[in-house]
A and B are shown apart, each in its own frame.
Chain A
């Protein structure tokens, strides 16, 4: 928990209370809370902030949901529309950086097939005959002109044929990697929850100006649930290199670490919580999950 509180990020000075700073404010006794009231322009008191989303799945009795501001992309000042409850077993897990490393390295390597191949002394053309007789010529003794010590000879221990580096981490490790990545993004103030991905225009400059105004970083990953997304955001993002749009099933640890900011919609948060928390209460698979079970999907 000390590790989480130590990981305070935060770029802009005028951003108000982020989840990490709110955690810190409970230690300092609410001094930052009064600062927050001075900074906000329309909200009367923390008690009147609307809770726009509660956790659908049951939260463990000893933990409370972690909260994040819900924002909007429709206007420049549409920040802090309300609060969203995020499940602590998805967004507040212990920061297992070793698992993040494992999953990121797995993502990089499991698709790799190296096609390097060299010829051994048996495959190099020629070299079947003894070049000169064993004794009497005065030269060193050799059996073939293609042995590895010869110029033009075969390679002794070179790469042999296409090599696959495929391996699978256990499903629960990959799920935990996603949870840790979401937690790290939230705790370092790089996660933003948005009500939906609707834009007033399809101009890519509007989107990049908005993100620059809100100090959301150089690269932003926008995540929606279905593959059908509003046309404005699709056309705006298609012309931008550092702002990317993915469906929720395409969320992965490497993309989350590569982009500086992660933006989730409320539907995406519900989808992710449901899918990631199911693994905490499932039996081990008797047969693959793509075959039917009585209560899944």
Chain B
């Protein structure tokens, strides 16, 4: 009795409900279920490599950009154009700075070194002596190396010499 009643009600319900009735109770036809998607395979994309490319550093040093006014906030100034009319010329370093460096050996031997001097280095030595004599009060002790184009001075004078060379226009 209950079985017959259950079967007839299912049949009636199936006829009446159809597809919406099936989905309401969580069941669906096999033809209606979406098939699992086909495996897409491996797709190699090179579009994202630009994030790597922008991290790779350059190898050559760029030219400094043109600023509105000099000296720049960091104190940098480009060399004057045209170059000064002197018997010697002091080239800029590869980072576009004045090549004056300090050295300390034996813990107490302070020296200043001017590198990259081209032309008559003895004229530069005379000019440096004239510039530094009033600052020290006596003649500065200097060493000229013609082969390498360097001038070594006893004592720390890098700031004064840098300003003096900038003012000359190197």
> Which residues of A pack against B, CB within 8 Å?
1, 60-62, 94, 96, 98, 278, 280-283, 285-286, 289, 292-296
Question: Are A61 and B81 neighbours in the complex by a CB distance under 8 Å?
Answer: yes
In B83-113, the 8 Å CB interface with A consists of 83, 89, 91, 94
In B140-170, the 8 Å CB interface with A consists of 147-149
Question: Are B57 and A281 neighbours in the complex by a CB distance under 8 Å?
Answer: no
CB distance from A93 to the nearest CB of B (A): 10
Question: Are B56 and A281 neighbours in the complex by a CB distance under 8 Å?
Answer: no
CB distance from A48 to the nearest CB of B (A): 29
> Which residues of B pack against A, CB within 8 Å?
53, 56-61, 81-83, 89, 91, 94, 118-119, 147-149
A-side interface mostly: loop
List the B side residues contacting A285 at CB < 8 Å.
Answer: 59
List the A side residues contacting B81 at CB < 8 Å.
Answer: 61
Q: How far is the CA of A60 from the CA of B92 in the complex (A)?
A: 11
In the complex, the 9 A-B pairs of residues with the closest C-beta atoms, listed nearest first: A296-B59, A293-B59, A294-B56, A62-B83, A62-B89, A295-B58, A294-B58, A282-B60, A281-B61
The 7 sampled A-B contact pairs (Cβ below 8 Å) are A62-B89, A94-B118, A94-B147, A283-B57, A294-B57, A294-B58, A294-B59
Q: How far is the CA of A243 from the CA of B33 in the complex (A)?
A: 85
- The answer to whether residues A283 and B147 also contact, given A60-B91, A292-B56 and a CB cut-off of 8 A, is no
Question: Are A278 and B147 neighbours in the complex by a CB distance under 8 Å?
Answer: no
CB distance from A62 to the nearest CB of B (A): 5
Pick from B57, B59, B61 the residue with the most CB of A within 10 Å.
Answer: B59
B-side interface mostly: loop
Residue in B61, B82, B83, B149 whose beta carbon sits within 8 Å of that of A94 in the complex: B149
Pick from A60, A98, A286, A289 the residue with the most CB of B within 10 Å.
Answer: A60
CB distance from A28 to the nearest CB of B (A): 20
Question: Are A281 and B94 neighbours in the complex by a CB distance under 8 Å?
Answer: yes
Residue in A278, A283, A289 whose beta carbon sits within 8 Å of that of B58 in the complex: A283
List the B side residues contacting A296 at CB < 8 Å.
Answer: 58-60
Known: A60-B91, A293-B59. 11 other contacts (CB 8 A): A94-B118, A94-B149, A96-B148, A281-B61, A283-B60, A283-B61, A293-B58, A294-B57, A294-B59, A295-B60, A296-B59
Residue in A60, A62, A278 whose beta carbon sits within 8 Å of that of B60 in the complex: A278
Q: How far is the CA of A124 from the CA of B133 in the complex (A)?
A: 71
CB distance from B118 to the nearest CB of A (A): 8
Q: How far is the CA of A285 from the CA of B94 in the complex (A)?
A: 14
List the B side residues contacting A293 at CB < 8 Å.
Answer: 56-59
Q: How far is the CA of A286 from the CA of B118 in the complex (A)?
A: 30
List the A side residues contacting B59 at CB < 8 Å.
Answer: 282-283, 285, 289, 293-296
Q: How far is the CA of A210 from the CA of B60 in the complex (A)?
A: 43
Question: Are B83 and A61 neighbours in the complex by a CB distance under 8 Å?
Answer: yes
Q: How far is the CA of A266 from the CA of B62 in the complex (A)?
A: 28
CB distance from B150 to the nearest CB of A (A): 11
List the B side residues contacting A60 at CB < 8 Å.
Answer: 91
List the B side residues contacting A289 at CB < 8 Å.
Answer: 59
List the A side residues contacting B89 at CB < 8 Å.
Answer: 62
Q: How far is the CA of A60 from the CA of B94 in the complex (A)?
A: 13
List the A side residues contacting B61 at CB < 8 Å.
Answer: 281-283
Q: Please, which residue of chain A has its CB at the minimum distance from the CB of B89?
A: A62
List the A side residues contacting B94 at CB < 8 Å.
Answer: 280-282
CB distance from B113 to the nearest CB of A (A): 17
List the A side residues contacting B91 at CB < 8 Å.
Answer: 60
List the B side residues contacting A283 at CB < 8 Å.
Answer: 57-61
List the B side residues contacting A1 at CB < 8 Å.
Answer: 119
CB distance from A148 to the nearest CB of B (A): 43
CB distance from A156 to the nearest CB of B (A): 39
Question: Are B53 and A294 neighbours in the complex by a CB distance under 8 Å?
Answer: yes
CB distance from A56 to the nearest CB of B (A): 15
Q: Please, which residue of chain B has its CB at the minimum distance from the CB of A94?
A: B149
List the A side residues contacting B147 at CB < 8 Å.
Answer: 94, 96, 98
Q: How far is the CA of A296 from the CA of B89 in the complex (A)?
A: 31
Q: How far is the CA of A295 from the CA of B61 in the complex (A)?
A: 10
CB distance from B120 to the nearest CB of A (A): 8
Q: How far is the CA of A60 from the CA of B170 in the complex (A)?
A: 13
